[in-house]
Structure 1
Amino acid sequence: MGGMSGGEALRRAVAAALADAIGAEVTAVFDAPPLRSAMPYALVEEAQLSDWSTKDMAGRDGRVSVVIHDAGERPERLRGLAERAEAAIGALPSALGEGWRIAALTLTRSRIVRQGERHWSALIEFRVGMLRSN
């Protein structure tokens, strides 16, 4: 089976959902850590996936995380960005492309952490189960 991996299909879908939901409010949505970027920005981290195949379908099970970075004395703007990002990921369409589809998607954690003076980050993590039909 050639084509897009499950992790790549998932990362693209999450990045597209974030771009639609908060793209106008962040400087960028990245799929790899930027060398530098003005805040706020969102980062779709590399998914942690393991085999979840059946007899007749390829499958992946794991976690996909998004981190949104923002600056400010308080995280009010970040809270709003995180809420919209969480809702957008939770509403991903089941079809991801190239035969991959989401079979299960569950929020596992969402939290805001102070990273330093005037730097906050929101971590949003989902557990995902994906199957690929031939």
Structure 2
Amino acid sequence: MTAREALRGGLLAKLRTVLQPLAVTLFDAVPVRASVPQAVLGEPSESDWGAAGIEGRELRVTVTLADEGERPLRLRTAMQAVEAIALPDMLADGWRVGGWTVMATRMAKTGARWTASVEWRARLWRMGQ
């Protein structure tokens, strides 16, 4: 399993846990049709973060949230829950979390729809692979 797959699997599980009580539907790809509120986990970008004897990857991943209404109260609540996510120390297939940081957050309104995004940087490593 790649670092990308391990990160997406761990993050999808955490997102489901925090978004389900808020009645936000989570997608792992952009849906063709879906009602709001919704969240979409993007594809991570990936680069090397290794050293001698250590396989390491740095990944950046964004979740995008959408809702409608006059004020983004529900969206703000969902965004705060998403920002507070902490990954477990160990992900699938021996990948360990060496760093997990929120890098950027954004919120904007286009017409009747509010959109917010949270971008993280993850540093993952595994020994002896």
Query: Per the shorter chain, which TM-score range?
Result: over 0.9
Kept in 1, the 8 Å contact 2:4–2:59? The answer is no
Q: Deviation at 1:65?
A: 0.8
Secondary structure of 1:24's match? helix
Aligned residue for 1:111? 106
Kept in 2, the 8 Å contact 1:74–1:118? The answer is no
Kept in 1, the 8 Å contact 2:27–2:41? The answer is yes
Q: Which stretches in structure 1 are left out of the alignment for 5+ residues?
A: none
TM-score (norm 1): 0.89
| Deviations 1:46-97, CA, capped at 9 Å, x for gaps | 0011111221121111311111111111111100000001112xx1112111
Aligned residue for 2:125? 131
RMSD: 1.2
Aligned residue for 1:99? 94
Runs (4+) of structure 1 moved beyond 4 Å?
Answer: none
TM-score (norm 2): 0.92
Aligned residue for 2:50? 53
Match of 1:38 among 32, 35, 38: 35
Match of 1:73 among 55, 70, 78: 70
Kept in 2, the 8 Å contact 1:27–1:38? The answer is no
Percent of residue pairs identical: 37
Kept in 1, the 8 Å contact 2:38–2:65? The answer is yes
Kept in 2, the 8 Å contact 1:27–1:37? The answer is no
Q: Deviation at 1:27?
A: 4.5
Aligned residue for 2:14? 17
Query: Residue 101 of structure 2 aligns to which amino acid in structure 1?
Result: T
